[in-house]
Every structure is written in structure tokens, then in C-alpha cells.
Amino acid sequence: MTQTIDDIVTDFDVLDEWEDRYRYVIDLGRDLKPYPEDARDAAHKVQGCVSQVWLKTEIGGGPDPEIIFLGDSDAHIVRGLVAIVLALYSGRKASEILAIDPEGILKTLGLDEHLTPQRSNGLRAMIRRIRVEAQGALAAVH
């Protein structure tokens, strides 16, 4: 994925209408890296999402490992939300992941106001899962 979270925030600022922002979110989802078929299982499924959402974690080495996430969903808009979450977290060190203020980013994007309660809950479930993975990666080395 080539979009950083800063790129996404900038692009959101340029788009005035929420219809355009929703289309942009869907486009972000189309640009996700292909998700491995063998990881579409219960172990990788994110609980708490109405749509099917899968998240695969690859943890690097060292005392503060870099974590790469792959994700996918069976719903177009949710797939775009997965792309935003991955832009925010993937490729960062575990300690950085835990230091990120996801609520602040969601407010900046206006997602907290424009998503249905079910999608907001699903987004928070993805973020919880990522934070748990980061906590586990740090605990494993200490």
C-alpha cells in the first residue's frame, strides 16, 4: 500500500463532500495488498465486526519488533477502513503502535461522526486487536 496515514488525512481535507470521502475510502480498499487465502480462518477473523474482517500479523525480531499487518474484508467500505487502519499501524514498532491515539485520528478524519455504530464498533475491534498484538509482541521479548 502506498498511502500513508498523513496522505489519507491530507486527501480527506481536500474532499468536502462525504459522498466523495466514502468513494475515496472504497478506493483505498481496492489498493490493499492481496490477502492470503489460507489466513481467511477463525484465528485471523476479527471478532466484533459485522462484516467479515481478517487480520494477519507478522512480527519482526528484537526488543521492540516491527509489526506488519495484512487485512481484508468482504465489504467494500469496511475494506477501505481496513486500509486506513493498516496505514496507521502497519510497519511500525510495537511501542509506536501502543503510543498512537486512534481516537484522535478518527476525529481528524471525521469517521467518528460519519460511520454507522456497527462500523465504528468494527473499526474499534480492529484497533483493539492490533494493540493486543503489539502488547503481546513486547511481552514476548521481556
State how far the Cα of 2 lies from the Cα of 28, in Å rounded to an integer: 10
3-state secondary structure 3-55: CCHHHHHHHHHHCCCHHHHHHHHHHHHHCCCCCCHHHCCCCCECCCCCCCEEE
Q: How many CA atoms lie within 13 A of 82 on its CB side?
A: 28
Give the active site residue among 8, 46, 49, 75. 49
Q: What is the number of alpha carbons within 13 Å of residue 67 lying toward its C-beta?
A: 26
2 is an active site residue: no
In a 3-state reduction of DSSP, which class is residue 61? Answer: coil
Residues with catalytic function? 49
